[in-house]
């Protein structure tokens, strides 16, 4: 069973029907969807920018530079600043989605209950009563966890206290995309909620190797191997440090990797996992069994 545990629902880039067809072509049983992160469609970053970003973030000495640079990406309204637009493919700007559209994910789950699960995407700063939102959506069949993005939505991880508390009580996993400094307080999160199952998105971006040893030893911490922010070689290193049993296949579809026809390349990240120098059982774990274990189903 192959489960892509990290994907966004953004029908402007990839219609549900096309997504299901691509899943069939690649033998993907299920995709765990979350709401899209931009109001306007996100343009791709260039491959060079992604490689530079990855190197800078993974270096303890250079990380402050990455942190400083990242604060200049967006204005107060969440729009990519003009100065950064030349570094995106096509040079276009985009606007962040501040209020995640969980409704759209709920719709996808009801249309294809046997192909999709969903993450309830919460935002503790602007969302009116995130805990009520959690109650509203979590009871929907197929909603399997909570997604939070302190980097994108710019808040300290400590703002997640009530959400993390409730997720821990309910036994729901928390998928988190960390930011820098207070927006990336992973140690606080792990230590404050020792029974909370945490998935660190994109191999623990932007801390990567600084975070990996902690994930290796904490029973309830995992990484997903999704996104164009990573590369095949990088994923190989991450898996070797945290251990394959702590890794989950995810893509970040439909963002990043495109085919010449402009549609999403669903084979890319799966190929990275298929070529990993690990046992068949370990590979099957990454591709789906670990996620099932995490959900306790």
CB of 169 to Zn ion, least distance (A): 25
User: Which residue is nearest to Zn ion, using beta carbons?
Assistant: 252
CB of 252 to Zn ion, least distance (A): 4
Dist CA 189 CA 161 (whole Å): 8
Choice between 204 and 282, CB closer to Zn ion: 204
- The long-range contacts involving 220-224, CB below 8 angstroms and separated by at least 24 positions, are 220/194, 220/195, 220/196, 221/190, 221/246, 222/197, 222/198, 222/246, 222/247, 222/248, 222/290, 222/294, 223/199, 223/247, 223/248, 224/5, 224/6, 224/175, 224/199, 224/200, 224/248, 224/249, 224/250
234-253: which residues touch Zn ion (CB under 5 A)?
252
Choice between 10 and 252, CB closer to Zn ion: 252
From the list 24, 45, 23, 43, the residue with the least C-alpha distance to 32 is 23
Residue 123 binds Zn ion, judged by CB under 5 A? no
CB of 265 to Zn ion, least distance (A): 16
Residue 4 binds Zn ion, judged by CB under 5 A? no
Choice between 97 and 167, CB closer to Zn ion: 97
CB of 219 to Zn ion, least distance (A): 25
CB of 181 to Zn ion, least distance (A): 21
Residues 58-97: x/- map of binding to Zn ion (CB under 5 A)? ----------------------------------------
Residues binding Zn ion (CB under 5 A): 252
């Amino acid at each position: 069973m192959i489960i892509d545990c990290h994907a966004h629902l953004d029908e402007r880039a990839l219609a549900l029907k096309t997504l299901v067809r691509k899943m069939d072509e690649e033998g993907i049983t299920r995709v765990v969807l979350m709401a899209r992160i931009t109001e306007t469609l996100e343009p791709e970053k260039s491959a060079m920018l992604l490689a530079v970003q990855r190197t800078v973030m993974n270096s303890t000495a250079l990380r402050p530079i990455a942190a400083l640079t990242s604060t200049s990406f967006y204005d107060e309204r969440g729009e990519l600043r003009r100065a950064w637009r030349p570094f995106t493919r096509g040079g276009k700007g985009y606007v962040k989605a501040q209020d995640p559209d969980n409704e759209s994910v709920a719709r996808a789950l009801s249309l294809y209950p046997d192909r999709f699960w969903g993450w309830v995407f919460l935002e503790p700063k602007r969302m009116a009563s995130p805990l009520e939102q959690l109650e509203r959506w979590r009871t929907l069949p197929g909603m399997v966890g909570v997604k939070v993005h302190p980097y994108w939505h710019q808040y300290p991880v400590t703002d997640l206290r009530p959400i993390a508390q409730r997720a821990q009580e309910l036994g729901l996993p928390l998928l988190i995309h960390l930011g820098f400094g207070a927006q990336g307080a992973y140690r606080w999160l792990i230590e404050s909620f020792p029974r909370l199952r945490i998935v660190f998105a994109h191999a623990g971006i932007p801390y990567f190797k600084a975070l990996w040893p902690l994930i290796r030893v904490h029973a309830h911490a995992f990484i997903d191997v999704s996104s164009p922010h990573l590369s095949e070689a990088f994923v190989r290193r991450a898996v070797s440090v945290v251990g394959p049993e702590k890794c989950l296949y995810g893509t970040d579809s439909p963002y990043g990797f495109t085919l010449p026809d402009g549609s999403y390349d669903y084979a890319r990240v799966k190929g990275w996992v298929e070529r990993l120098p690990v046992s068949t059982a370990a590979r099957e774990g990454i591709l789906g069994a670990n996620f099932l274990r995490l959900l306790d189903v």
